[in-house]
Amino acid sequence: MTASSLGRTVRTARLILSPVGWPDLDRMVRLKGDAGAFGLMLGGVRSRKQATEEMADDIAFWARRRVGIFTINENGIFQGMTGLHERPDGLGLGLRFAIWPHARGRGIAREAAAAALRFAHDQGEKRVVGVAREENFASRTILGGIGMQVRGSFLRAGHTMLVYESDRTGMDQG
């Protein structure tokens, strides 16, 4: 993984992660409006208005924290998003990822989430959490596969939610 001279674009073996910006709005609206891609995310599928408001929040978050949400591109094709946001439930800085259903099964989400997590720690973020439904084995496999550990659980709308955590010490060992 390498980072651009601006310190924000991240490159992996096959992906380019770029901070979200207004030129990405239409792609993010489509992704966040797709139940297959965003249905299990906190807050679920978004309307265009909600996605636009989140874009403004994401851009401001980058300015405040030097970390945030990235677009995921493979060979110049938008495949989804990953990155960090302040969780509205008070759990702290949260890692999220969502890719198009047709892009699944090739390790894109895992590769992108690992790069975003590493970027956050490299920027000085000590603790990052990820939350997944107990029955969401795909997300749980990704979170565990990038070195995050289950540290707790809670109930939300009848679902057991598992809280994964990564800290700087854990990244230095792996």
CATH number (domain holding residue 64) = 3.40.630.30
- Cα atoms in the Cβ-side hemisphere of radius 13 Å centred on 131: 23
Task: Write out pLDDT tens, residues 28-65.
Answer: 999 999 988 888 787 889 999 999 999 999 999 999 99
pLDDT of residue 171: 43
Question: Domain range spanning residue 16?
Answer: 2-173
pTM: 0.89
DSSP assignment of 106-138: SSHHHHHHHHHHHHHHHTT--EEEEEEETT-HH
pLDDT value, residue 5: 33
Q: In the chain, which stretches have pLDDT less than 50?
A: 1-5, 170-174
How many domains would you assign to the chain? 1
